[in-house]
Each structure stands twice: as C-alpha cells, then as structure tokens.
Amino acid sequence: MSGRGEGRMKKRPFIIDCDTGTDDAIAVIAALGCEEICVRAITSVNGNARERDTSRNNRNLIAYLGMQVEVAHGASSPLYPRGEYYDDTHGNSGLGNVVLRDAEEYLYSEDMASEVIRRIAEGEKGDLELLVVGPMTNIAIALTMYPVLKEQIKHIWFMGGAVHGGNITTCAEFNVWVDPAAAQIVLNSGISMTMVGLDVTEQAAMKREDVDELRVCGTKGAVLVADILDYMLERYANGGEDALMHDASALAAAVYPECMDFEPYFVDVECGSPYTAGHTAVDVRGRTGKEPNVNVAVGIRTDEFRQWLKECVRKC
C-alpha cells in the first residue's frame, strides 16, 4: 500500500507553442484533458493567422474552458525574411466560423513567449517538455537568447515537416515553410525531439461520426471540438483540407505513442532556395553519414488515434 500520494505520478509539465488555428485549438483542448500532463503555459506565434489573432484565440479558449493557464504573446513574424504570414485555411480569425466570447478580463502574461519558456524551464529543473505546433519562431528566439535552455528542455514534440511531400509547396510543410530559419535553429539545437510530419498527420482525419459522438458527450471541450470539426468538414466538402488533426497528432506522439511508429533519422531544413525553403531533408537512406537527431513519426493507427483524441477531449 503506497503512502499518501506516494504512488501518484508527477504530471509532465508542458508548454504549448501554437498558431491557433482550428487544429491547434483541438490539440490544446485535448492536452488540457490529458491526465498525464500539466499545461504550464500556452504561447502564440504568427502562422495560421496574425499573432494578435492566435493569441486572442488562446486567451478566449482558456477563458471559455474556465482554466487557469498562463497565455503569452509571441512572435508576430518569422525569423526567415518572409514577413507576417497568414491565409484563410483557418478563416480570418483562425478558428473558422467558431466564435468565442472575447475574454478581455483575462490578462495575458506580462512576459513574451521566449521569457515564459526560460522562466518555466528553469523552474521545472529539466522536466519541461514543449509541444510545438506552429512555426518555430518563438522556440528559436528562446534558444538563441538563453542557450542554457538546450540543457533544460527535456524534449520537443513538434508538428512539422514531412519525409515526403508538402502542403504549402510541393516539398515543404506549412509550419516549417513559414519559418525555415527558426526550424533549422531548433533542429540543430541538440535537444531531444520528435517530429510528427505530414506522412502521419495526413492520415489523422476525424469523421462525421466523431462529431456526432462528441456533441452527445456534452462537455464544454467536446462541444467546442464538435463545432470546430463541423467547420473543418464543411471546408473539406467545399474543396478545402480535410479535418486533419495535424497538431493533436504531435500530442499523441507524446502521450499515446502506442498508436504510432517512429524511426530515428538525421533531419535538417533547406533554407537557401525560394523553391525549396522549408523542405525537411530526412536522411532515410543514411546518405549524410550524420547521426540521427530526430525521432520521426512514420506511421499511425488512425482509428486508435481518433478514439484516444475523443477520450481526451471528453475530459475537458
């Protein structure tokens, strides 16, 4: 019989860095419903929408769920000379046609993302993990300003890149394409990391039956995810992207790796040519002679993933 609390596992501390976005929001809700982790902060970055929109979405989401989580502003444009980027894949606000009350009473952190990462990493004494599901600008800034983070961050789980193909150009995935310079800094940092790219996330589509199941469940998180999925499925019916859980797949790699397969590879990022900038060069054939620096997700059992995601969301 273990003593009081002796048997209770310590929750894994996480910071989620995101460009909230529809699938980012679903990943955040799932993370908040995950019993294994403690979300210490949510930091925003320009990507799916302007940073002022991605940060507002994070703040309104946390307020809607009635959670107490530090929400911080982040970079409003990438390190790579592309300028502020956004498009209408996630609608003008970033959350499609889903409208959350503007929780103006909810105060943002006084610190920007890079300082929040530094402060919490120092406090967690080597236990902090990062879930990075947007362009990696904030992480690159933090690592450049505070190199000690390379010893303090336990693991980076990121949605980005691809072994084959791309979704914004023929050879680049969106998150890495927006800021390839930042991705290159992070991938070459020496920090232990896992890449969940399009090879896996393009198989992680939710279905109409999932929406119906979540709506019946009735929790705040489940109903909001059902609303977001409704938007994504309608977008798909009109020729847009499917209800792909790109960002929740990176969370699954961290807390439900059983639904995926991984291989260690050397990975770097192409920044030189405008035609290939953002391409993740994944050395599957060992041609570089370089040691693997990234654990790469190469397969997913989609039905198991879908059930897991709904279980997490139901708890929020």
- The SS3 of residue 46 is coil
Q: Which of 24, 53, 210, 283 binds ligand RIB (CB under 6 A)?
A: 24
Task: Find all residues with CB under 8 Å of 31, minimum gap 6, and list them.
Answer: 14, 16, 37, 39, 131, 251, 312
Pairwise CA distance, residues 253 & 163, whole Å? 16
Comparing CA positions, the residue from 13, 28, 23 lying closest to residue 233 is 23
Pairwise CA distance, residues 25 & 20, whole Å? 6
Task: Find all residues with CB under 8 Å of 104, minimum gap 6, and list them.
Answer: none
Q: Which of Ca ion, ligand RIB, none does 173 bind, CB closer than 5 to 8 A by kind?
A: ligand RIB
Shortest spacing between CB 19 and Ca ion, in angstroms: 5
Asked if 14 interacts with ligand RIB (CB under 6 A), we say no
Q: Which of Ca ion, ligand RIB, none does 174 bind, CB closer than 5 to 8 A by kind?
A: ligand RIB
Task: Find all residues with CB under 8 Å of 26, minimum gap 6, and list them.
Answer: 225, 228, 229, 245, 247, 248, 309, 313
Q: Which is nearer to ligand RIB, 167 or 293 (CB)?
A: 167
Asked if 138 interacts with ligand RIB (CB under 6 A), we say no
Asked if 161 interacts with Ca ion (CB under 5 A), we say no
Q: Which is nearer to Ca ion, 186 or 266 (CB)?
A: 186
Q: Which stretch binds ligand RIB (CB under 6 A): 17-25, 65-73, 80-88, 307-315?
A: 17-25
Q: Which of ligand RIB, Ca ion, none does 95 bind, CB closer than 5 to 8 A by kind?
A: none
Q: Which stretch binds ligand RIB (CB under 6 A): 79-87, 172-180, 232-240, 268-276?
A: 172-180
Shortest spacing between CB 122 and ligand RIB, in angstroms: 27
**Whether the Cβ atoms of residue 101 and residue 60 lie closer than 8 Å to each other:** yes
Asked if 134 interacts with ligand RIB (CB under 6 A), we say yes
Pairwise CA distance, residues 8 & 4, whole Å? 9
279 is catalytic: no
**Whether the Cβ atoms of residue 191 and residue 291 lie closer than 8 Å to each other:** no
Catalytic residue set: 246
The residue ranges that bind ligand RIB (CB under 6 A) are 19, 21, 23-24, 47-48, 133-134, 159, 167, 173-175, 246-247
